[in-house]
Amino acid sequence: MRNIFLVYMPPGNAEAMVHYEDTIKQRVPLSRLRPYLSRSESLRLEDIFGVRPIAVWGSRDSDRNRATFDRMRPGDDVLIVEGPTIRFVGKIAAKRVDPALSRELWKQLRPASVEGWDLIYFIANPLEIEIPFQLFGNLVGFAGGFQLRGFTALSADRIESFYSKYDDLYSVLLSLAKGRDVREKEARDPAIADSIPLVDPAAEDMEPIAAKAISEHVRMQWKLATLGVKAGEKVWVPPGDRTRIQSAYQFDQFEDKFADGIDLQSNYFQNIDVVWKEEFRINAAFEVENSTAIYSGLLRFADLNVVAPNTAYPMFIVAPQERRNRVREQLMRPAFRRLDLRDKVKFLPYEAVDEIDRFFEAASSGLSVDLISGKAESLL
């Protein structure tokens, strides 16, 4: 179970605000950090962040802070709180104790001060938000009027209680930031998933898949994987599909394993056709449904939404344009409607994928999940 760390910044603290602007909002290029890192640390950060600048924060090296810092592990969550408001959430990617790097990153604004911020942590999946801390406090059981101070971590019992009710912390906070209701896992009726038959009774979904359909399925997986790499994403494809893609298109830029930092059991993602991701977060999921698998693809998404009802990343059914109405009919099934799949799943036609692929054939930037979402269609 992942730790949740809380960093408090007193409102109006000029020193903290300058440092926040310099290394959280603006972030730090890896080239600036490299002189202070070992080769293995540098390669690890490069693997996680690529060419993107890195959000970095630090805490004073007191006995109390060191005890908290020592508990940090990659994949743990960290929140930065200014006064009564959560300003930032991210995942711990790595950490180190380094007075020299602290002096490089954060200049003292008070001439008489010599104490630095030597407990340094590098933060992946950074998200700037604005949420009343009390909303989060209610979810983790803080009493009204609780006042956060310094650098601390939630107790194990509060974390266990939170995750017994809710799914991914990032998705929960994003829901709060967007004014959405946060859904408890227990609020989902277990009978919903059980009410979806394992075999689609529709005749269309019981027909055997033709060889041409398989090749089109592989072609579309390859295009989505290629576009993911161009978008700067890490790409997951089920291990059983990789050989076919490699054989047909000589593409091999797959993630070998999903990531230990993603709090989701592997059986809920391992068979999704294509996943775009970062080290500790899913950014988009694609189910390619060429001729027979619309139902089974939606069932995989339904499973994800049962175990993670606050899922924030977009999900796409990718199929030929002529199958649009079939996708819509499947989304109208009562069980899928009760899981709100119509709100979360978009239809992305093959034709749109081909168009995006042609446009970005020679491009090296500009492609993103948001662009894909803009080309997809909501079937509400």
Give residue limits of the domains in the chain: 4-185, 188-378
Distance in angstroms (rounded) separating the CA atoms of residues 358 and 107: 48
pLDDT at 292 (0 to 100): 58
pLDDT at 282 (0 to 100): 86
Q: Are 278 and 125 in contact (CB under 8 A)?
A: yes
pLDDT at 205 (0 to 100): 47
The residues, any chain, with a CB within 8 Å of residue 118's CB and separated by 6 or more, are 58, 60, 61, 97, 98, 99, 102
Q: Are 285 and 313 in contact (CB under 8 A)?
A: yes
Task: Please state, as a whole number, how many other Cβ atoms lie within 10 Å of the Cβ of residue 5.
Answer: 21
pLDDT at 50 (0 to 100): 86
131: nearest Cα among 85, 183, 82, 83 = 85
Task: Fill in the DSSP letter of residue 209.
Answer: P
CATH number corresponding to 4-185: 3.10.590.10
Helix, strand, or coil (residue 221) = helix
Q: Are 241 and 218 in contact (CB under 8 A)?
A: yes
86: nearest Cα among 26, 158, 148, 140 = 148
pLDDT at 12 (0 to 100): 84
Query: Which stretches in the chain have pLDDT values below 50?
Result: 188, 190, 192-193, 197-208
Distance in angstroms (rounded) separating the CA atoms of residues 330 and 204: 12
Q: Are 58 and 151 in contact (CB under 8 A)?
A: no
HEC string of 107-174?
A: CCCCCCCCCCCCEEEEEEEEEEEEEEHHHHHHHHCCCCCCCCCCEEECCHHHHHHHHHHCCCHHHHHH
290: nearest Cα among 209, 207, 377, 379 = 209
pLDDT at 72 (0 to 100): 96
pLDDT at 309 (0 to 100): 73
Distance in angstroms (rounded) separating the CA atoms of residues 67 and 80: 18
> In this predicted model, what pLDDT tens digit does every residue of 352-376 receive, in sequence order?
999 999 999 988 778 999 999 999 9
pLDDT at 150 (0 to 100): 93
Buried b (16+ CB within 10 A) or exposed e, 62-85: eeebeebbeebebbbbbbbbbeee
